[in-house]
Amino acid sequence: METLHFDLVVIGFGKAGKTLAWTLAAQGKNVALIEQSNQMYGGTCINIGCVPTKALVHRAEQVADSNGAELFEEAVAFRGKLTEAMRAKNKQLLVTHETAKLIDGHARFVSDREVEVTAGDDRLRVTADYFVINTGASPVIPEAEGINESRRVFTSTELQTHTPRPQRLAVVGGGPIGIEFASMFAHFGSEVTVFNRGERLFGSSDPDVAEVASQILSDAGVKILNGVSVTSVEDGEDATSVGYRDSAGEVQRLEVDAVLVAAGRRPATEDLGLENTSVKVDDRGAIEVDQTLHTSVPHIFAVGDVNGGPQFTYISLDDFRIVLDQLVGEGKRSAQDRFAVATTTFMTPPLSQVGMTEQEAQQAGKNFRVASKPVDQIAAMPKAKILETPQGVMKFVIDTDTDQILGAQLLVVESVEVINLVAMAMRAGITATQLRNSIYTHPSVTEGLNEVLA
């Protein structure tokens, strides 16, 4: 069996690993990137996550009174072309470097210093000075009778390319992925029901913001069932029956055409051969790392979703910066440096958040004030009305002792852009007064800060 040696071996084509691979290859390092699927060149984000789903969300927002079923099929076709082009570009960014090698196949550790790559009947042994595990995460399938046998149960990966569009869709899970798909398919014209275990949706938001967001979903046609658990899934000839226990403990059933399982994602560490190494894994299957992303084996790093941290592409990109600094920099950067990291739930309009909620500020004993206003009442921000999306609310929590922004919850069109400005202001120590009195382009959503922060 042939054995190859590299300065660095990356397992998985995700954001952190691929960026590290081509950055070090550009510096002349001998680098290999191992990926088991040629449909995942570039990683989760561009193939089955952020990019393709947001392309579908964008198309869904254009439906209006048009034929949603037909436009969904057009959107799926557009999504396919987009991801195909991005896969090709990501491959090119790597292989154009003379010292970089793309190895197709499944990697499995046989020791702390060696992996075996299999592709069909082909076998290859690979050793390296450093390894970076970058295998991402995979969907969690909840326990329910018949759920694994049903031909109408889909993960978010599968449903985004499944045509025709389901007329009736059950979404099992009320987290960001479930909400995104529920909102999107409702705009495409599906009858959507969300099965949520919690007492309410948007549990990381303040109740007043969560109430507005839930109402927006309801107004879009999404039926929300809180405090419920799905107990069974049974396929019929033309439909699938979802059995669930409601908030009163009664067993109910709902017939649908498709079931989306959106119950979270777990680190993808199965069949990596970690039992043959000294790499420690926690009870969730996540690889344990320190603040500089070293595993329990000093020359092995774990980056992205597989290390159990926040499952966001931009966190993975920051993981790249940390590991790069460890390998060829000053070794000072760490995950402890992260502050005011924003998140977005891509419903329509999107809900973006950063920092503390009002409840968290109370629990922390902060002296604070709340600046909040419904979007349709912000006179100085006509952009939302121009875009025909006047729903939502903009809410800030401000430290009254320092005038620093403690947190923000922006349920407003284009919030995904504005939240980055707010997060940077928090990191830079810019006050709420300075944000309020800044000059912003008109018309823009950003200029809502002029009024809401007053």
pLDDT, one tens digit per residue, over 71-88 is: 999 999 999 999 999 999
Q: Which residues of 223-244 are buried (b: 16+ CB within 10 A; e: fewer)?
A: bbbbebbbbebbeeeebbbbbb
Helix, strand, or coil here: 47? helix
Structure tokens that stand for 128 in this block: 């390296």
Q: What contacts 180, CB < 8 A, 6 or more positions away? A: 53, 57, 345, 346, 347
Lookup result for tokens 């500020």: 361
State mean pLDDT over 403-432.
Answer: 98
Predicted TM-score (pTM) of the model is 0.95
E-strand ranges in 105-198 read: 106-111, 114-119, 122-133, 137-139, 153-154, 168-172, 191-196
Give the total residue count for the chain: 454
Q: Is the pLDDT of residue 65 over 90?
A: no
Please give the pLDDT value at position 78. Answer: 96
Q: Which residues are annotated as a binding site for FAD?
A: 54
Question: Cα 371–177–285 angle (5° rounding)?
Answer: 110
Fold of 3-137+266-337: FAD/NAD(P)-binding domain (3.50.50)
- Tens digit of each residue's pLDDT (9 = 90 or more) over 17-40: 999 999 999 999 999 999 999 999
Q: Quick one: which of 175, 208, 211 has its CA closest to 194? A: 175
Q: Which residues are annotated as a binding site?
A: 54, 173-180, 264, 305
H or E segment to which residue 44 belongs: helix 44-47
Q: Is the pLDDT of residue 66 over 80?
A: no
Please give the pLDDT value at position 67. Answer: 82
**Catalytic residue set:** 442
Q: What percent of the chain has pLDDT over 90?
A: 97
Please give the pLDDT value at position 1. Answer: 79
State mean pLDDT over 276-301.
Answer: 97
Q: Where are the alpha helices (DSSP H) in 168-303?
A: 176-187, 207-219
Phi, psi angles (nearest 5°) of residue 407: -175, 165
Q: Per-residue confidence at 412, pLDDT binned at 50, 70, 90?
A: very high
- Tens digit of each residue's pLDDT (9 = 90 or more) over 109-138: 999 999 999 999 999 999 999 999 999 999
In contact, 235 and 151? CB cutoff 8 Å? yes
Domain boundaries, the chain: 3-137+266-337, 153-263, 343-452
- Tens digit of each residue's pLDDT (9 = 90 or more) over 182-218: 999 999 999 999 999 999 999 999 999 999 999 999 9
Q: Is the pLDDT of residue 64 over 80?
A: no
- Give the CATH superfamily of 153-263: FAD/NAD(P)-binding domain (3.50.50.60)
Instruction: Say if 3-137+266-337 and 153-263 have the same CATH topology.
Output: yes
- Give the CATH superfamily of 343-452: FAD/NAD-linked reductase, C-terminal dimerisation domain (3.30.390.30)
Please give the pLDDT value at position 364. Answer: 98
Q: Quick one: which of 61, 60, 55 has its CA closest to 85? A: 55
Q: Which residues are annotated as a binding site for NAD(+)?
A: 173-180, 264, 305
Phi-psi region of 120 (alpha: psi -120 to 50; beta: other; left: phi over 0): left
In whole angstroms, give the CA distance from residue 433 to residue 430. Answer: 8
